[in-house]
Structure 1
Amino acid sequence: MSSTIDKLTLHKHDYQKLVNKNDPSISLIKPSNIRSELWSKFSQLYHLNIPQNYIVCNTCRTVLKWSSETGTKVMKNHNCENKSASKTSTTPSRQRTISSYMPPAPDNYSSIKNRIVEACVEFCALDGKPFDTVTGEGFINLAKQLMNAGALIGTGFSVNDLLPHSTTVSRNVDRVYARLKEQLILLCQDVQHFAVRCDFWSEPYTGLHYGGISLHFVDSSFYLRIFILACKLYDLPNQKAHNIRDFVNTTLEEFGLKLNEDIFVVSDNEPKMVCAFKDDTTRVGCSAHYINKALQHAFELDESLCAGVQKLFVIVRDIISYIRQSHKQSSLSVCVQNYCKIRFSTVYIMFNTFLMVYNELPSVLNKNQRQNFLKINYMELEQLTKYLKHFHDVLEKLCSEQTPTLHLVIPYKQLLINRSTKNDDDHQNLIQLKRYLSEHLKDYWIILDIHYVAMLLHPNLKSFYLMPSKKEHAIELLKLEFNKLMDSLGMHPIQKTPLNNNKEKKQMKKNMHLIYSLDEIFDAPNDENYLQTQPTEKTELDLYLEDITRIDNNMNVLSYWNSNKSLYPNLAQIAKRVLSIPATNTSVERLFSHSGNTITNRRTCLDANKVNHLLFIKRNLRILKEIYPPPIEQSTKRRSSVISTDSTSSTTPNKKIKLMTENQDVDEATSDEDNDDEQL
């Protein structure tokens, strides 16, 4: 070939032939100003000592189109190791092999694990992150995506080219929020009955006020769904009742929802909240606030007549404050926790942690605190902690977000009242506390009709064992709900079946000596005609009340109604509506805790809308992904169905990754990789 040929005359395939022939007119030289490590595998092509816009792979001697403007992109996309296997295969160079899906050898796995552990240590140290960051759901998802990216495009690239800029992440928060909000709006279109939790919070660093609202409903599959609708800036002039109601109505309207008399709002028991939701809706007081306020008043108010336990409370709190302020905490086997009136059950946590390190305290206290320590009666402390544990356990049950809780309010209230009964060996100070809390719970813990209905809808609680005098009242309330549903459907009570009630008569005769204890002196009547009753027609409600089926105490009551929805179809609809109402508003309380972790002293400039978007994503992402799986996951699941039996390759319709053949240009491969990166 003539040496006078201009460099523009030759094309890529011409240079490839010259390279394959080791033509002396071709020389391979590395640029002098290279910075990327990828150049270790490539050299720039020179023809007749004139640099060309081509590079050559040092391994497979392949000529690739390149220019200084495109940088190292073509080098990253080039993978010559998988191309030498078969000349006729249409499998793309980035296609994963079967062995890549297999776990590595134990020796290799151990070394990889050690390197990851070391990298996590460096990550926590350099970025100042908590150790449990590496166990977070978001971090694990990020690591998974990076592993998938490495499997697809190899390791010959800089990770900085994949990781986005912080500004890009911030902008995409709004995009992800908009997508998830559209999904939630679509889901709310089918929601007829729901409950709402509402509360307000002030951010300490900026002084801004936020309003939190959560949505609760039971879907068609009898799953309890909880979504956070908003934790957004409350910018109204004040927190008067009408402004609070407007704030809630505006937020609900964004999702196509509206309050009415059949919708329940759960809130704390402040006067402004009571007034805001007194009309056109039904407000349910937070049971956790009732319990917490009772405990707070018992230990803090002078008129509570609990001076003995209040004195113990002050001594323990002062000692714990001293320990935490004097940095003596590290000398104890258990971290002691101090009391905080705005957090539920902290009075029990304080006494319990103090009791656990009781024998260790004399060695870490100074003279003054040791004198206070000697004033503590250990038996009183132990009895008090054991008694307060009942309140702690009840709060844990009522604050659950995985299962319905409204049906537990009445029995747990009665349980706490029963546990407040005086025992013979109780300390005198504990007797005073029990007397006060028993009266306070009876008078101030408000029970609504809906609580009785919810309790009756649990098969293990419908006997009203703890308070049998309220059973008939609960049955009448459930009948009203049943008839209300029948009227809305334009139907009469169904499933009427004439049944013999001899069994019921025998039970009534038996109970005649149980209702009033003085009747035990009389003989039971033997005359079969003593109780003259006519055969009755049993409705769906009657059949349920007579059903003796019981479920496991830890079983989700919604699972029971899902299994019996064909037997009790109308009661199942009532159960979906009633059991969706939470007993407490702790989901919003936890939302404010998450917002406190989001707005720190290093993130005080975070926009209020961004806070709302971040918390919306945090609380709703997992459940919305379950309901609306991302397309990329569906494509990944179907990827194994792609089978290549000859030189022709087949793909499923949903698979968007294009397969490359050998004669395709590298630029086309680059375009395909860009598309795949967008999917990642």
Structure 2
Amino acid sequence: MASGSGAGLDLGGSSRHNRSDVWQYFKKDGSRNVICTLCKGKFAYHGGTSNLRDHLQRSQSTVYTRDSGQPKIDSIMKVQKCSPARAKILDNLIVGLTVHDLRPTRMVEGRGFQELMEYCEPGYTVPSRKHISKLMFDRYTSGKALLTDKLQSDAFSLSLTTDIWTSSSTEAYISLTCHFLTSQWEYVDCVLATRSFPDHHTGENISSTIKEVLESYEIADRTVSSIVRDQGSNMRRATDLLQTEKGWAGVNCSAHILQLCISDGFKNNTSIDRALGAARKLVGHFHHSTLATAELYKQQSQMNMNQQKLKIDCTTRWNSTLYMIQRLVANRWPVSAVLSDTTITKRQDCTLDLTAHQWVLLEELAKLLEPLEVATVFFCTERKVSISCILPIMHNVFTSMDSEEGDSASIIAFKTAVRESIMRRWSLDGIEPDSPLVLAAALDPRFKSLKFLTDDLKQSVREELLQRKDADCGNPTFQCVAVKEKAPSETPPAKKKKTALDILLGDDNDSEGSENDTELEEFLLEKSLPRNSDVMVWWNMNEHRFPNLAKLAKVYLGIPATSASSERLFSKAGIITAKHRNCLKAKNVEAIVFLNKNSKFLNQ
């Protein structure tokens, strides 16, 4: 229908022509003719509109009536059929809704959704559940092809993370994510698979599944550098098999090891164990008593405190124990006031209050655990945290566990146990110069000074970098990470003996070295970056200055510090496979998780 702007056309210069309603449907064609905008018919015009009005009443009666001179409401509200192009857009938007918001495809069959679409787009026919599933799989197939091309064209070296999880319907899934640095030093993490894993969770089956997933993406063996996994014996077995067969280094999840170290501190510590047990029982009382909780809020308000519910911990997340302690200690007096009120608390429950010694012990424990919690959160939540941060952080954590004057016997025992566990699990007393954790720190402009190592070990690390930098790794880089086994006949290079002048004057740094030696020395002489600097930005700006070291940096700095990215998939998968969707097929779960987690990457 023509718009009302047609009435503003100049048809002879007189404004009276604009007063007639028929000019909404005609436009001037020369000085003596007009054209109907509805049927494109040409009519004579001699200053009057009678013939024009007769045409509208005779041929366009559905639009124009003589009585009103305005369009009929029925014609305006008439349902227009949705064009195929627009219907396709709407179909894809519905697919996006199911993927991004994790909605079931059966949503399109719901009465409320159909009424909404009928109101918003009356001429649109809502597609069937089967059609939406087909479109989703088409998007999954094209997205996987796009990711395959991206990995082959822009991934210099890949690092993987993996984990296993069981859904509410007791169906096991294995996840696999990959991480790499692009040619522009942009950190990319994406999901490769979330597959059903009905087989026994043995190392052999895990390694076979990982190889199948990588083959589906046509990923060359030599492109993979490492696999980050937890300390499970089956996961360790799988990465050991892959390292032997493919040369892929197995890297421990730093968050999982830290969890084990802190758990070791809690073990065999009677005082702490009893204090935590009493705290859990006390918090449990408030969680099960609505009356006690209501009175707790009342006491908090009277003491000018924020109303806070007490927290209970989870045994598999040590930091939840810290949060429980912090919340309980902060609300010590409101809690004690509720327990002492016999009108609220039963007589047998009044003894739930902690002893003065236990309150003091929990306060000391909370202060001790806070830096460990910062390390855990840093490892798990920072998107660009690579393994280069692990050893510097854990060295400081190890130092913070030194006993201090005034520490109670329980705190000293906890610190000692954690120190011993850190030393054992991270092998701080036997760090190898070819460890990926050490080499990553050496290539990080923030930690390249390697303050946590002895001078002799620093020199060994530099020699290891030179050896790997000189090696022809090319684009395939697994050889740069895997621990190399020396041939039986191979003898280590003889160390240069120091002369008397070397002892008196120090090492001769002015002697002429190779070009690669010079590159490494220039890198080491660079001023270290502040800790809050973006390492990837620095390497992107300085890659041309250190081209050989940059190749190694793309390998090691692209390895994540934890396998948290795989674990986070299970929170998504848990929503997808909730009780009301526990019959969802495994292939649907994989497609939805893939599209949901890779949405930003696929939409670029």
TM-score by length of 1: 0.63
Q: What amino acid is the match of 1:537?
A: G
TM-superposed CA distance for 1:262, in Å, is 5.6
The RMSD of aligned alpha carbons is 3.9
Q: Secondary structure at the match of 1:197?
A: strand
Q: Aligned residue for 1:345?
A: 319
Deviation at 1:357, TM superposition (A): 2.1
Say if 2:348 is the partner of 1:372. Answer: no
In structure 2, the CA distance between the partners of 1:60 and 1:554, relative to structure 1 (3 Å rule), is: farther
Cα distance in structure 2, aligned partners of 1:60 and 1:170: 50
Shift of 1:176: 2.5
Q: Distance in 1 between matches of 2:500 and 2:536?
A: 35
3-state SS of the aligned residue for 1:213?
A: strand
What do residues 442-477 of structure 1 show as CA deviations (whole Å, max 9, x unaligned)?
112356611110111122312222333532232233
C-alpha offsets along residues 231-263 of structure 1, whole Å, 9 cap, x if unaligned? 12113x311221111111111111111445962
The answer to whether the Cα contact below 8 Å between 2:262 and 2:318 also exists between their aligned partners in 1 is no
Structure 2 contact 444–557 (Cα < 8 Å) conserved:
no
Q: Contact conserved, 1:19 with 1:61, CA < 8 A, in 2?
A: no
Letter in 1 for 2:585: D
Aligned counterpart in structure 1 of residue 263 of structure 2, from 282, 296, 305 = 296
Aligned to 1:224: 187
1:137 Cα deviation after fit: 7.8
2:550 equivalent to 1:572: yes
Determine if contact 1:216/1:226 at 8 Å carries over to the other structure. yes
Contact 1:218 1:225 in 2 (8 A): yes
Q: 1:241 to 1:260 in 2, by over 3 A?
A: farther
Deviations 1:138-190 (A, max 9, x none): 69xxxxxxxxxxxxxxx997446569457254443223222322211110112
Which residue does the alignment assign to 1:471? 458
Overall identity of the aligned pairs, in %: 19
Asked whether the 8 Å contact 1:211–1:232 carries over to 2, the reply is yes
Equivalent in the alignment of 1:404: 385
In 2, Cα distance between the equivalents of 1:487 and 1:607? 42
CA drift of 1:20 comes to 7.2
In the TM superposition, residue 389 of structure 1 has moved relative to its aligned partner by 1.0
Q: How does 1:172-571 map to 2 (within 5 A)?
A: 172-190=135-153, 191-204=155-168, 206-235=169-198, 237-260=199-222, 263-278=225-240, 279=244, 280=246, 281-299=248-266, 304-327=267-290, 328-329=292-293, 331-332=296-297, 333-343=307-317, 345-365=319-339, 366=345, 367-377=347-357, 378-446=359-427, 449-469=435-455, 470-485=457-472, 535-537=511-513, 539-571=517-549
Distance apart, 1:509 and its partner CA:
12
The CA deviation at 1:276 is: 1.1
Map Cα deviations across residues 487-545 of structure 1 (whole Å, 9 max, x no partner). Answer: 889xxxxxxxxxxxxxxxxxx99998xxxxxxxxxxxx6xx7x9778723262443235
The DSSP-based 3-state class of the residue aligned with 2:316 is coil
Q: Hey, what's the Cα distance between the residues in 2 that align with 1:246 and 1:188?
A: 21
Verify the 8 A CA contact 1:296 1:341 in the aligned structure 2.
no
Structure 1 residues 594, 570: CA separation in 2 closer, same or farther (over 3 Å shift)?
same
What one-letter code is carried by the residue in structure 2 that aligns with 1:473?
S
Between 535-544 and 174-183, report the one with greater CA deviation: 535-544
19 and 63 in structure 1: CA distance in 2 versus 1, 3 angstrom threshold: farther
Alpha-carbon distance in structure 2 between the residues aligned to 1:487 and 1:72? 63
Say whether the 8 Å CA contact 2:177–2:193 is kept in structure 1: yes
Q: 1:607 and 1:485 mapped to 2: Cα distance?
A: 46
Shift of residue 338, structure 1, vs aligned partner: 1.8
In the other structure, the counterpart of 1:130 is: none
* Deviation at residue 376 of structure 1 after TM alignment: 4.8
User: Unaligned stretches of 5+ in structure 2?
Assistant: 1-36, 44-48, 84-96, 103-116, 298-306, 340-344, 477-498
Shift of 1:266: 0.7
1:73 to 80, 86, 96: 80
Q: Tell me the amino acid that sits aligned with residue 325 of structure 1.
A: H
Distance 2:51 2:502 in 1: 104
Name stretches of at least 5 consecutive residues in structure 1 with no aligned partner: 1-10, 29-43, 46-53, 78-133, 140-154, 490-507, 513-524, 627-680
Q: CA deviation at 1:400?
A: 3.6
Larger displacement relative to structure 2 (551-560 or 243-252): 551-560
Shift of 1:548: 3.5
Matched AA of 1:277: T
Letter in 2 for 1:583: A
Task: Give 1:374 shift.
Answer: 3.1
Q: CA deviation at 1:270?
A: 1.1
Give the C-alpha shift of residue 13 in structure 1: 3.6
Deviates more, 1:578-587 or 1:599-608: 599-608
Q: After the TM superposition, which of the residue ranges 541-550 and 393-402 deviates more from structure 2?
A: 541-550
**Structure-1 separation of matches of 2:410 and 2:351:** 21
Report SS of the residue matched to 2:251.
Answer: strand
The 1-side partners of 2:140 and 2:510 are apart by 63
Greater CA drift, 441-450 or 572-581: 441-450
- The answer as to whether partners of 2:176 and 2:193 remain within 8 angstroms in 1 is yes
Between the aligned partners of 1:252 and 1:14, the Cα distance in structure 2 is 63
Provide closer, same or farther for how the CA distance between residues 564 and 59 of structure 1 changes in structure 2, counting only shifts above 3 A.
farther
User: Which amino acid counterpart does residue 561 of structure 2 have in structure 1?
Assistant: A
Contact conserved, 1:305 with 1:436, CA < 8 A, in 2? no
CA spacing shift, 1:557–1:156, aligned 2, 3 Å: same
Count of residue pairs brought into register by the alignment: 479
Cα distance in 1 between the residues matched to 2:128 and 2:279: 47
